[in-house]
Chains A and B, each alone.
Chain A
Amino acid sequence: MALLEVRDLTVVFQRKGEEPFRAVDGVSFDVEPGQTVGLVGESGCGKSVTSLAIMGLLPKRGAKITGTVRYDGTDLLKLSDKEMRDRRGRDLGMVFQDPLSSLNPVVPIGLQVTEVLERHRGMPRKEAMIEAKDLLDKVGIPDPNRRLKEYPHQLSGGMRQRALIAIALACRPKLLIADEPTTALDVTIQAQILSLMKELVQDLGTALVMITHDLGVVAGLCDEVNVLYGGKVVEKAMRHKLFAEPRHPYTHGLLASIPRLDAAPGEKLTPIKGSVADNIPWSQGCAFAPRCPNALDVCVQVTPAEEDQLGRLLRCHNPVVPGTPAAEEVPV
């Protein structure tokens, strides 16, 4: 049994006077200790809602959550608010994209770290202070003694993100969910933070769920990758398999549309036509059909089911055949 087992997780938002909106639609994945699982997809595909649902952070009103989220055998969705709050500090850590909104602006960084240490690891204040300094040092914050006394606004974006990771680490979580932890940062800072997260997984055996829209980050960090489109996982495979032979037209299209640093000069990009605004509801067929170069008639009539294809999960009526050239370039 995996440390985290997400099964058929579905989140439906119901707003007054609007159609119910399925932001997450039957997502399943497992994470083992020492493993990194990636959720990747573009804006609005349900990445953050998935992570918030797992952490019990979605608003109670207006969001209907179904499915199961088993952590170490316990269904987190069935826990009370208080039990969940307890878990969040202790076993489950989370790092968000915008560290400023998840740090308390009026409490010095040091106190925010020691608070976690005192509450969840029962450390006395003095010991917690020493540990906090070690943690800041470990995540690469210079002059930690001084930084402990400072407030979040006194730190740069990269330093804040590190402080947040230090806080998440303070409780030695067995599971860490990182939602676009480096998207707001410069690439040289991103590289520092990603190498820190790699160390965490390797040295402490933390299970990591990495949420990002950057396929480059996924390629270097994740063991298994889930590609999301319109709230559903459309392709799931181990990273080498996924990148060597993307089979879902969406995954394939994404990879063909990003410029690679190591591309040969003059190489053309093949964009995916349209935008997510063109999607059709999954209930009517395949959400990606209006943008898909492989679409068949059946694609707008029957919702593709998830199929296991030699260790790869695929949700598609007409997947890309490996070895064929990229689909015709779409007119822009």
Chain B
Amino acid sequence: MSETLVSVQDMKVHFPIKRGVFFDRTVGHVYAVDGVDLEIKRGETYGLVGESGCGKSTLGRAMLRLNEPTGGKMIFDGQDFSSLKGEDLRKMRRRIQMVFQDPLSSLDPRQSVESILVEGLRAHDLDKGKEETGKRLRELLSAVGLPSTALRKYPHEFSGGQRQRIGIARALALNPDLIVADEPVSALDVSVQAQVVNLLEELQEQFGLTYLVIAHDLAVVKHISDRVGVMYLGGLVEEATSEDLYAEPLHPYTRALLSAIPVPDPVVEDRRERILLAGDLPSPANPPSGCRFHTRCPWRQQTRCDTERPALRELKPGHKVACHWAEQIQSGEIQPHEVKPILVEEDDGISPDVPLVGPASVTEALNP
């Protein structure tokens, strides 16, 4: 289980912000993903959590090359996936599949389930004649818990949970090594979420799959993942096994996030202490200097926090954190204090009259 399947190295995705009559002037960038390193081992589930807009989906899409990264690369099973072209890229693509949040918008409403599934097979020359393909389709449906009569039906004839099963069958059809699931259960009713979570777990066992599960619900991610990465404004702030992360969160943001998640148990809820963060998430187009969390961090210090971007470093075996003061916070030497909320601009943080000049990223500014 220790063989590395995926290695993401200094991944960056910066979206240009265009202005002007012809949208021909670049006035700044959205630093959606800004220097992420992570490794996923074969057979494990890596969970990526963080709040809306922190760059989770963009990172997932960049790994699949659905967005071309601005910088960095992904090594997949020993090969540099980022530089593959043509036939090699197409071949490798089969091995990495994606499951989306909203199954309805990711399934063509005019195609029957059969044609949705066969289409994927054909694109990768896996359609081996009527009989064999028919057998394969029935296997797939049974693996995701749908009757074979589903083949002739259309996506709208299914409930949300069933549609998600179709999406999973489509990904599974190509015998992938890695499945990137972006919010696979967040559009589903609570009572149905567990069906899909359990299905993903069973399929992993059955087919030896590796998962990258992206979700904003930390309880779901903790349940399903072996290891978890916490993102804030385009960067990883903490990474640990899901047990360690829950038992001993080291980053102030992770602490706040964990303390904010409601637990369906009044006894626990009454006892809990919440770390309430002040204000909103800053705009990724105009990220705070230094530690990106410093504008909301209750442990923020006078030095370093607003000037120096903390690197992700290993504090204990397998437990990484990006905070200058993690040791002192953990030992209690540094205590939290009150934070006044600061104003966050809802537009992209860039006034059209003041064109942004300067480095394309904070990391660039730090290492010229």
Chain A residues packing against B (C-beta within 8 Å): 42-43, 140-143, 146, 153-156, 158-159, 186-192, 194-195, 213-220, 239-240, 243-244, 253-263, 265, 267-273, 275-277, 291, 331-332
Contact B190 A258 (CB under 8 A): yes
Q: Are A261 and B191 in contact (CB under 8 A)?
A: no
B262 contacts across to A, CB distance below 8 A:
190, 194, 214, 216-217, 219-220
Residues of B within 8 A of A275 (CB): 159-162, 189, 191-192
Selected contact of A159 from candidates B268, B274, B280, CB within 8 Å = B280
Q: Among B159, B280, B347, point to the contact of A189 (Cβ < 8 A).
A: B280
Interface flags for B144-186 (1: CB within 8 Å of A; 0: not) read: 0100000000000001111000000000000000000000000
Q: Are B261 and A216 in contact (CB under 8 A)?
A: yes
Give the top 9 A-B pairs by smallest Cβ distance, nearest first. A216-B262, A271-B194, A259-B223, A220-B269, A257-B194, A191-B260, A215-B264, A186-B51, A269-B194
Knowing A142-B279, A195-B274, A261-B263, the reply to whether A332 touches B192 (Cβ < 8 A) is: no
In the assembly, what is the distance between CA of A190 and CA of B274, in Å? 12
List residues of chain A with CB within 8 A of the CB of B266: 219-220, 239-240, 243-244
Q: Is the CB of B192 within 8 A of A143?
A: no
A137 CB to nearest chain B CB (Å): 10
* CB <8 Å contact, A191 and B264: no
Give the distance to chain B from A192, nearest Cβ to Cβ, in Å. 6
**CB–CB A187/B260 < 8 A:** yes
B-to-A contact residues, CB < 8 Å: 51-52, 145, 159-162, 189-195, 197-199, 202, 216, 218-220, 222-224, 242-243, 246, 256-270, 272, 274, 276-281, 340-344, 346-347
Tell me whether A142 and B161 are in contact in the complex, defined as CB-CB below 8 angstroms, given that A188-B257, A258-B264, A271-B195 are known contacts.
no
Q: Of the candidates A255, A261, A270, which one forms a contact with B222 in the assembled complex, judged by CB atoms under 8 Å apart?
A: A261
- A332 and B202 contact, CB distance less than 8 A: yes
A43 contacts B257, C-beta separation under 8 Å: no
CB pair B189 A43 closer than 8 Å: yes
A156 vs B161: C-alpha distance in the bound complex, in angstroms? 31
Enumerate chain B residues within 8 angstroms of A332, measured Cβ to Cβ: 145, 195, 198-199, 202
Complex: chain B residue closest to A269, CB-CB? B194
Q: Which residue of chain B is the closest to A330 with respect to CB atoms? A: B195
B341 / chain A contacts, CB cutoff of 8 Å: 140-142
A259-B194, A262-B265, A269-B198 given; 17 more Cβ-contact pairs under 8 Å? A154-B346, A186-B216, A186-B281, A188-B277, A216-B261, A219-B264, A244-B266, A254-B190, A254-B191, A259-B224, A262-B263, A269-B223, A271-B193, A271-B195, A273-B195, A275-B192, A331-B145
On chain A, the residues within 8 Å of B160 by CB distance are 275
A263 CB to nearest chain B CB (Å) = 7
Q: Which listed residue (A142, A190, A191, A272) contacts B191, Cβ 8 A?
A: A272
A282 to B115, CA, bound (A): 38
Instruction: Give every chain A residue within 8 A of B347 (Cβ-Cβ).
Output: 154
Provide the bound-state CA to CA distance between A244 and B268, in Å. Answer: 11
Cα–Cα, bound, A33→B224 (Å)? 42
- Contact between chains at A216 and B263 (CB < 8 Å): yes
Contacts of B199 in A (CB 8 A): 332
Decide: A243 and B265 in contact? CB cutoff 8 A. Answer: yes
Q: Are A261 and B218 in contact (CB under 8 A)?
A: yes
Tell me the complex Cα distance, A159–B346, Å.
10
Is A156 in contact with B344, judged by CB distance below 8 angstroms? yes
Closest to B272 in A: A220
A259 adjacent to B197 (CB under 8 Å): yes
Chain A residues lying within 8 Å of B192, measured Cβ to Cβ, are 271-272, 275
Contact assessment for B346 and A240 in the assembled complex, using a CB-CB cutoff below 8 Å: no
14 A-B pairs (CB sep. < 8 Å) = A141-B341, A156-B280, A156-B281, A191-B277, A215-B264, A217-B262, A219-B263, A219-B269, A220-B266, A261-B219, A265-B243, A269-B223, A272-B194, A277-B159
Partner among B51, B193, B260, B274 whose Cβ is within 8 Å of the Cβ of A258: B193
**A110→B160 CA distance, assembly (Å):** 41
Chain A nearest CB, measured from B195 CB (Å):
4
Residues on A with C-beta less than 8 A from B161 are 275
* A158 contacts across to B, CB distance below 8 A: 280
Closest CB in chain A relative to B354 CB, distance in Å: 17
Given contacts A257-B194, A261-B219, A269-B197, contact A187 B261 (CB under 8 A): yes
